Amino acid sequence: MSRISELEKLKEKILKFRNERDWAQYHDPKNLAEAISIEASELLENFLWKTKEESRNLDKEKIQDIKDEIADVLIYLIVLSEELDIDLIKSAEEKLKKNGKKYPVDKFKGRSKKYDESKKNKL
Amino acid sequence: MSRISELEKLKEKILKFRNERDWAQYHDPKNLAEAISIEASELLENFLWKTKEESRNLDKEKIQDIKDEIADVLIYLIVLSEELDIDLIKSAEEKLKKNGKKYPVDKFKGRSKKYDESKKNKL
Amino acid sequence: MSRISELEKLKEKILKFRNERDWAQYHDPKNLAEAISIEASELLENFLWKTKEESRNLDKEKIQDIKDEIADVLIYLIVLSEELDIDLIKSAEEKLKKNGKKYPVDKFKGRSKKYDESKKNKL
Amino acid sequence: MSRISELEKLKEKILKFRNERDWAQYHDPKNLAEAISIEASELLENFLWKTKEESRNLDKEKIQDIKDEIADVLIYLIVLSEELDIDLIKSAEEKLKKNGKKYPVDKFKGRSKKYDESKKNKL
């Protein structure tokens, strides 16, 4: 007996939403990648001018705005993956393995200096 | 008998990876939002100078690069959600409902003009 | 006796560079806006995981990387302005005037709270 | 008799605007780099879902929106350069020279294939 995952169910809802509006025609990979980048930037805007500490202490309204932007990034990520026939979960698991080889525990554990020196992939 | 979802399993792997390296100390929400935006931009870079049509016809190597960037965006999205105690799937489902009210089918079906005129939320 | 500005001189160098390589064909406004966003994100990457304080105390090599990214943003900004027949300096002066009306001194002087509450335009 | 450039004059107006409001306190390099990236993304949003051709044929209102976003990017670029003591024009000229060595005319003239294959620096 097969079970459909919650991510799969979400994807089906998104595609139903899109098909009802006939919007697949706009969803070429280039424009979807633009949309992801724009939504990620709107997510970041919620933290602009804040300190690290302030970014840990957000009021309820701000958290709701952030939820909506996180949702937008995920939704477009799912659509792009669908268009390119990419398995989101599997890709993330494979990337984690790559990162594990790139950042071995014995060399990178608690090393903030190495952390700073290495480029941006911290996961 | 409870069942853990594939997204939940991925989150556990990510958090294990992070804890082994003691990297939670770097993961305040502001820096995580920066990381998501930077990774999304690297994803977009794969489509720069391309036409829409070219973005639908990518070679195998390019697809692999894109997979890695999509994975990075998802991984940081999961970490940020964890830090802010946000349920990713639920947030996306709620956002879809909001979008459904904002873009009713009878007004937006196949309307490229409306699509262009309205701002960027197309899903 | 007319004098050409330093920004004008820079623009001429950029256009000469481009024409020698026959690259104007790639420089439609959409792709140029993508390029600006991607370069701005690479600029930001130099500050990722850093604290505010660390971002004020950068070593010489980091400053050079930042210089290069700032240069890339400016160069594409100049090309996009050329393509759309926009006067960069005049646009910035007009925007400053708009911002002056939006953020009157008597209401916004030293008001970090207002600063935080208001959206992102702080200039 | 020294002459102040138009870019220098613009910088002085920006700093006057900032000082009247006591906003220098928010302008650490990390937050300024975030601001540049966010404004660049808002600039890009004006082109989202458009084709290359549509991006060359914008109405007057759209051009005004784009002018405002280009202005925001330039303004924050000037402030960041001021904070890091970077000469904007000189940095761009040096970067152009670097790019000239990286992309020699005889190898890159009219070569769309090379253009596509090489990463994103096309200027």
Note whether C43 contacts D37, CB cutoff 8 Å. Answer: yes
| pLDDT tens digits in sequence order for chain C, 123 residues long | 456 899 999 999 999 999 999 999 999 999 999 999 999 999 999 999 999 999 999 999 999 999 999 999 999 999 999 999 999 999 999 999 999 999 999 988 887 544 555 555 567
ipTM: 0.91
Q: Which chain A residues contact residue B56 at CB under 8 A?
A: 28-29, 83
Closest in B34, B51, B120 to D48, CB measured: B120
Note whether A38 contacts D47, CB cutoff 8 Å. Answer: no
Q: How many CB pairs under 8 A join A and D?
A: 29
User: What percentage of chain B exceeds 70 in pLDDT?
Assistant: 89
Determine phi and psi for B17, rounding to 5 degrees.
-55, -45
Q: What is the pLDDT of residue A2?
A: 53
What is the mean pLDDT of the segment spanning B10-33? 96
Q: How many CB atoms lie within 10 A of CB D93?
A: 17
Q: What is the pLDDT of residue B34?
A: 98
Determine phi and psi for A19, rounding to 5 degrees.
-70, -35
Q: What is the pLDDT of residue D119?
A: 55
Within 8 A by CB and 6+ apart from C29, the residues are C80, C83, C84, D47, D55, D56, D58, D66
**Å between C1 CA and nearest CA of chain B:** 41
Q: Is the model's pLDDT at A110 over the cut of 50?
A: yes
What is the mean pLDDT of the segment spanning B106-116? 69
Distance CA A54, CA A50 (A): 6
**Residue A114 pLDDT level (bands cut at 50, 70, 90):** very low
Q: Which residue of D has its CA nearest to B52?
A: D51
* D50 in contact with C, Cβ within 8 Å: yes
3-state helix, strand, coil in chain A (%, to 5): 75, 0, 25
Q: Which chain B residues contact residue D120 at CB under 8 A?
A: 45, 48-49
Separation in Å, CA C63 to CA A114, B46, D81: 19, 27, 10
Note whether C56 contacts D31, CB cutoff 8 Å. Answer: no
Q: What would the pLDDT profile of A27-60 be if each residue is shown by its tens digit?
A: 999 999 999 999 999 999 999 999 999 999 999 9
Q: What is the pLDDT of residue D18?
A: 96
Q: Is the model's pLDDT at A116 over the cut of 70?
A: no
Q: Is the model's pLDDT at D108 over the cut of 70?
A: yes
Q: What would the pLDDT profile of D33-50 be if each residue is shown by its tens digit?
A: 999 999 999 999 999 999
Within 8 A by CB and 6+ apart from A101, the residues are none
Q: Which residue of D has its CA nearest to A49?
A: D31
Q: What is the pLDDT of residue A121?
A: 58
pTM (2 d.p.): 0.93
Q: What is the pLDDT of residue B1?
A: 43
Note whether A92 contacts B71, CB cutoff 8 Å. Answer: yes
Q: Is the model's pLDDT at B121 over the cut of 80?
A: no
- CB distance D17 to C96 below 8 Å: yes
Note whether C51 contacts A52, CB cutoff 8 Å. Answer: yes
Summary count for chain A: helices (H), strands (E)? 7, 0
Q: What is the pLDDT of residue C121?
A: 58
Distance CA A31, CA A18 (A): 15
Q: Which chain A residues contact residue D48 at CB under 8 A?
A: 31, 34-35, 38
**Residue B4 pLDDT level (bands cut at 50, 70, 90):** confident
Contacts by C106-109 with C-beta closer than 8 Å and gap 24+?
C108/D21, C108/D23, C109/D20, C109/D21, C109/D22
Distance CA C28, CA C84 (A): 9
**Residue B96 pLDDT level (bands cut at 50, 70, 90):** very high
* Angle, alpha carbons B114-B116-B119 (nearest 5°): 95
